[in-house]
């Protein structure tokens, strides 16, 4: 991947973000024309708020939009009376504003902005407000606590909602996240710029039976499962992975243009593996994020960002993703899948693979990865590849 690859992709990303924004504008205009007029005058792109996409995705727009947009409307300066809903413990979250704690459980309350006055049937309600936490000078917010609306996103392989722990994941790993974001900003500024341009919410959580993920149902949010890794090496890789999905969702918002077949066509129809049910669009998403992951890990090795066991883990993660990258690139490159636009999108991804493999072939081949499952496990890797084994290339 040339250093300017993401810069070259930026027009596609911006066009895609504009499409997402226009879709949300239309949805709000239809369902809440009163709010639409107010929001068009707000700063900070309220129509790209992930919780707005999520509200419509789960079929709760009318009930939730006051609360979803209250933080944006609070900065408009106009006095407004909005409806908010508390959760079982009396708390509620307002994007772009913060976490309110009250003694009003499962209740509908009135929130007056911009004064931030809370009332129930006209009577004042005492509250404690915990402000949101944004990374540096960006619009990227770290979600601090569990939120009822967000629970719709956590679905296991069998389609059932999964219980997750956000509070402890944040408490335990905020320093690792800060280090990982700093590393990415230093080793690949273009990726950091792309991430901060499209990602509004970072959700650290801990749960079994679910992967890290991103979803257009909450466009602009990246979800990272800290049960799959516990340090900044994992986070450098997974931030590139999950934020990469958000970036590529914007860059490929007109997905059909990239294919000569339907984007939902199973890749198994082309690779001779009928059990491979992934769609061609999912595989294209995969090679894009694999390119970002490989580039980040490779740059960390080159710059000697980590040492000792962290560097050992870095080697293993790079070897693991390069093998998957190679297989997925071979699959998506098969004849009859991509259009000329898709091939144009894929070409710089192929260049990343070619450039990294020219220097890291030994890393990709030297290690025993036979014990690895879908997600890389460093404990298993270290058992099969002792840390004293110096086989990587600088």
Q: Which two tokens stand for residue 197?
A: 């341009």
Q: Which residues contact 228 (CB under 8 A, 6 or more apart)?
A: 211, 212, 234, 238, 375
Q: State both tokens at 86.
A: 């508390």
Residue 132, pLDDT score: 95
CA 75 vs. chain centroid, Å, equals: 26
Report pTM.
0.94
**String of b and e for 109-139 (b: at least 16 CB within 10 Å)?**
bbbebeeeebeeeeeebebeeeebeebeebb
- The pLDDT score that the predictor gives to residue 233 is 97
Counting Cα atoms < 13 Å in the Cβ hemisphere of 223 gives 24
DSSP H or E segment with residue 110: strand 108-113
Residue 391 burial (CB count, 10 A): 12
C-alpha angle 216/373/146, rounded to 5°?
A: 40
Question: What end-to-end distance do the CA atoms of the chain give, in Å?
Answer: 18
E strand intervals along 265-362: none
Structure tokens at 61: 């727009």
- How is residue 206 annotated by DSSP? B
Place of tokens 């106009």: 78
Q: How far apart are CA 290 and CA 325, in angstroms?
A: 6
Distances (CA, A) of 222 to 1, 243, 333: 23, 6, 27
DSSP 106: T
Number of Cβ within a 10 Å radius of residue 215: 20
Phi, psi of 203 (to 5 degrees): -115, 105
pLDDT confidence of residue 393: 44
pLDDT at 155: 92
pLDDT at position 1, please? 37
CA distance 286 to 333: 13
| pLDDT tens-place values along the chain, 394 residues long | 345 678 888 999 999 999 999 999 999 999 999 999 999 988 889 999 999 999 999 987 666 899 999 999 998 778 999 999 999 999 999 999 999 999 999 999 999 999 999 999 999 999 999 999 999 888 899 999 999 999 999 998 778 899 999 999 999 999 999 999 999 999 999 999 999 999 999 999 999 989 999 999 999 999 999 999 999 999 999 999 999 999 999 999 888 999 999 999 999 999 999 899 999 999 999 999 999 999 999 999 999 999 989 999 999 999 999 999 999 999 999 999 999 999 998 999 999 999 999 999 887 888 999 999 999 999 999 999 998 755 544 4
Helix (H, G, I), strand (E, B) or coil at 212: coil
């Amino acid at each position: 991947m040339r250093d300017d690859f993401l810069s070259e992709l930026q027009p596609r990303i911006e066009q895609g973000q504009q499409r997402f924004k226009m879709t949300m504008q239309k949805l709000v205009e239809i369902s809440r024309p009163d709010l639409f007029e107010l929001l068009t005058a707000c700063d900070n792109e309220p129509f790209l708020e992930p919780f707005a996409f999520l509200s419509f995705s789960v079929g709760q727009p009318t009930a939730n939009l006051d609360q979803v947009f209250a933080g944006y409307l609070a900065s408009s300066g106009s006095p407004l009376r909005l409806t908010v809903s508390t959760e079982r413990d009396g708390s509620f979250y307002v994007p772009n504003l913060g976490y309110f704690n009250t003694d009003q459980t499962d209740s509908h309350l009135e929130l007056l902005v911009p004064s931030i006055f809370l009332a129930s049937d006209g009577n004042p309600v005492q509250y404690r407000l915990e402000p949101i936490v944004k990374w540096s000078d960006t619009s990227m917010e770290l979600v601090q606590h569990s939120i009822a609306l967000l629970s719709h996103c956590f679905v296991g392989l069998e389609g059932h909602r999964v219980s997750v722990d956000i509070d402890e994941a944040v408490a335990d790993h905020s320093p690792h996240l800060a280090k990982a974001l700093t590393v990415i900003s230093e080793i690949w500024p273009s990726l950091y710029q792309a991430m901060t341009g499209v990602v509004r919410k970072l959700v650290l959580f801990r749960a079994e039976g679910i992967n890290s993920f991103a979803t257009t149902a909450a466009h602009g949010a990246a979800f990272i499962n800290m049960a799959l890794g516990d340090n900044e090496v994992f986070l450098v890789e997974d931030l590139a992975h999950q934020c990469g999905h958000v970036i590529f969702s914007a860059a490929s918002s007109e997905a059909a243009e990239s294919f000569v077949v339907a984007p939902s066509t199973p890749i198994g129809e082309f690779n001779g593996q009928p059990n491979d049910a992934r769609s061609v669009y999912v595989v294209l998403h995969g090679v894009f994020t694999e390119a970002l992951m490989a580039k980040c890990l490779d740059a960390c090795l080159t710059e000697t960002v980590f040492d000792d066991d962290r560097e050992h883990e870095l080697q293993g993660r790079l070897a693991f993703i390069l093998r998957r990258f190679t297989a997925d690139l071979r699959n998506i490159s098969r004849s009859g899948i991509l259009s000329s636009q898709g091939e144009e999108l894929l070409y710089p991804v192929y260049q990343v693979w070619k450039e990294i493999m020219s220097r890291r072939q030994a890393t990709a081949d030297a290690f025993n990865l036979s014990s690895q499952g879908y997600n890389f496990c460093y404990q298993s890797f270290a058992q099969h590849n002792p840390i004293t084994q110096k086989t990587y290339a600088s």
